[in-house]
Amino acid sequence: MNFGALHEFLKVANAKVSLGIQRGTPTFDLMKANGVYCPKDELIATHFQQLSQLEPESLRHMTVRDTELFRIVKDELLCATIHKAHWQEHNVVKDEDTIFRIAWDLDRETLLCCYAAALYWFEYWSELPAIGKHSHAVLFSGSRIYCKTLMHILRHTPTRCFVAETFMTGHHFYLEHRYTPIPNNSSSKWLWGNSQSEIGSIPADLSRQRAIDVHNAFRTAKNKNVQQPPEKTQPPSSFQKHYLVLGQVINDYSLISGCGTILTSLPAYKKIIEILLRDPEAFITFKAHPWEAVKFPEEGNKTYNYLTTWTDKLKKVDRERTTIVVDVNLQQLFRKADFVITLCSQGAIEAALEGFKPITVGGAFYDRAGFTTNLKTPEELKEFIQAGPVGSTLSLENYEALQAYLSFMLFDHLVPASSKGTAKVAQIFRDYASAPHAKSKLSEVNISPEFMEFNT
């Protein structure tokens, strides 16, 4: 079970638990919509009709509880639409006005449905008797509208909000006290810097044991979304440099709501490949994410299909130096590669464990840990390569940084999914120690004014 330790803690603590949404209800179905709503759904139909009468400017700046609704709906809206050609045919910056304008012009029904869903969820959570009555609330991932509305409401209650999300090992999960989504935006990004001095003081034998446990955790990782296929014979290559570019699911929340600067992935991949092809000795392998075909069962792997069509139109010499793959064993690709490049895929951590110093483009939650080369935009890749020979493997210092970071993640930040994590959950949920508040001796309400008269 992904969150077994959380369930075990609630059982051991004999906690009073209220489910915000009951299975098998229309509300439960709405929760799972993930941006794909029917405007005739009885839960949102009235809101949809009312919103349809608004002018774009009024809709753009519509607020509920002092927050713009567009900030609540934006991530789920993009998850439902960003795979479409009119989003991916050019780079779209993470600017709310730009995103709204494209959605209003080309995805208006989805935009209005997402707004209608937000209005429904604000009403739903506000009327739920349990809201504000519990000491803790736990949400999952946090990017969807039903989560964002609840997080906003909880900001104004005594209830402490925690967001949970699975980690790439399959044996651990995030459990963070926050009111924003987790994907590619974990608070570990900031806490890591504060904890390095503490990690440096860990005794050598314990540090060694932690390093072994980290190694084992990743070697025995169980990602339910991705199963590595068996190795297949690959054609030999005579090229001197092999670049492996790791793709991500085109509408993944790590891109949409994460800390990175890249929103539309296909233009970024295309630019990266174009820059790499300028080196006549380079061979580029792009690995599309296999889970994308599961998310779009009727359309298939959008990233693979787009890039395959695009590379087929390249001139022959470039086409022969580029291959787009999906179901190829990642470890096999690592053995063939000289460089690994990604936007913010956790595959960069897997690459680093194989000895690479991966290149990240746009920003990733782990890019401050000291084992990656970080570029802000795909265009910077050109300057980076032109600067001369670059290190593609981890130095001893880089490896020690990787080891320290993963030790921090697994032992200090994440929660083991098994019952071993129960104590960690209890520690995270522990209430702040109460302390008396000192009273001020002076205040504006208890000072008597004194007047002095002056002769003029």
DSSP category for residue 432: P
pLDDT tens-digit series, residues 331-380:
999 999 999 999 999 999 999 999 999 999 999 999 999 999 999 999 99
CA distances from 311 to 235, 284, 317, 321 (A): 19, 11, 11, 10
Which of 98-102, 193-197, 224-228, 306-310 is least confident? Answer: 193-197
DSSP, collapsed to helix, strand or coil, labels residue 176 as strand
Strands 359-361 and 339-342: parallel
Measure the CA–CA gap between 166 and 362, rounded to whole angstroms: 23
Q: What is the mean pLDDT of the chain?
A: 90
Token representation of residue 261: 């600067």
Measure the CA–CA gap between 277 and 213, rounded to whole angstroms: 40
Token representation of residue 326: 């999906």
pLDDT tens-digit series, residues 145-160:
999 999 999 999 999 9
Beta bridge partners of 325: 287
Query: What pLDDT, on a 0 to 100 scale, did the predictor assign at position 211?
Result: 85
DSSP category for residue 449: P
| 265-271-276 Cα angle (round to 5) | 125
Measure the CA–CA gap between 360 and 384, rounded to whole angstroms: 12
Measure the CA–CA gap between 82 and 75, rounded to whole angstroms: 10
pLDDT tens-digit series, residues 34-74:
999 999 999 999 999 999 999 999 999 999 999 999 999 99
Measure the CA–CA gap between 414 and 376, rounded to whole angstroms: 27
Of 433 and 292, more confident: 292
Query: What pLDDT, on a 0 to 100 scale, did the predictor assign at position 434?
Result: 64
Which of 98-102, 206-210, 269-273, 294-298 is least confident? Answer: 206-210
Q: Is the pLDDT of residue 447 over 70?
A: no
Which of 130-134, 270-274, 395-399 is least confident? Answer: 130-134
- The residues near 218 (Cβ < 8 Å, ≥ 6 apart) are 169, 349, 350, 353, 406
Q: Is the pLDDT of residue 100 over 90?
A: yes
Q: Which of the four pLDDT bands, split at 50, 70 and 90, describes residue 453?
A: low
Query: What pLDDT, on a 0 to 100 scale, did the predictor assign at position 91?
Result: 95
Query: What pLDDT, on a 0 to 100 scale, did the predictor assign at position 456?
Result: 47
Query: What pLDDT, on a 0 to 100 scale, did the predictor assign at position 2?
Result: 83
Q: Is the pLDDT of residue 20 over 50?
A: yes
Which of 113-117, 274-278, 281-285, 443-447 is least confident? Answer: 443-447
Of 324 and 211, more confident: 324
Alpha helices per DSSP H over 92-203: 96-106, 108-127, 145-154, 188-200
Query: What pLDDT, on a 0 to 100 scale, did the predictor assign at position 53?
Result: 97
pLDDT tens-digit series, residues 195-251:
665 666 678 888 888 888 888 888 888 776 667 777 777 777 778 889 999 999 999
Share of the chain above pLDDT 90, in %: 76
Owner of token pair 């891109």:
255
Give the HSE-up count for residue 412: Cα atoms under 13 Å, Cβ half-sphere: 20
Token representation of residue 434: 């109460």
Which of 105-114, 221-230, 265-274 is least confident? Answer: 221-230
Q: Is the pLDDT of residue 452 over 80?
A: no
Q: Is the pLDDT of residue 22 over 70?
A: yes
Q: Is the pLDDT of residue 272 over 70?
A: yes
Q: Which residues of 87-112 are buried (b: 16+ CB within 10 A; e: fewer)?
A: bbeeebebeeeebbebbeeebeebbb
Owner of token pair 């994440």:
414
Beta bridge partners of 241: 282
Measure the CA–CA gap between 150 and 161, rounded to whole angstroms: 9
**Angle between helix 145-154 and helix 108-127 axes, rounded to 10 deg:** 40
Measure the CA–CA gap between 114 and 110, rounded to whole angstroms: 6
- The residues near 52 (Cβ < 8 Å, ≥ 6 apart) are 112
Query: What pLDDT, on a 0 to 100 scale, did the predictor assign at position 196?
Result: 63
> What pTM does this model have?
0.90
Going along the chain from its start, the domains and CATH numbers come out as 4-177 (no CATH), 241-409 (3.40.50.2000)
pLDDT tens-digit series, residues 281-295:
899 999 999 999 999
Owner of token pair 């032109």:
386
Query: What pLDDT, on a 0 to 100 scale, did the predictor assign at position 237?
Result: 75
Measure the CA–CA gap between 407 and 430, rounded to whole angstroms: 23
In 3D, which of 374, 371, 395, 398 has the Cα closest to residue 384?
374
Strands 415-416 and 172-177: antiparallel
Beta bridge partners of 172: 416
- The residues near 89 (Cβ < 8 Å, ≥ 6 apart) are 267
Q: Which of the four pLDDT bands, split at 50, 70 and 90, describes residue 431?
A: confident
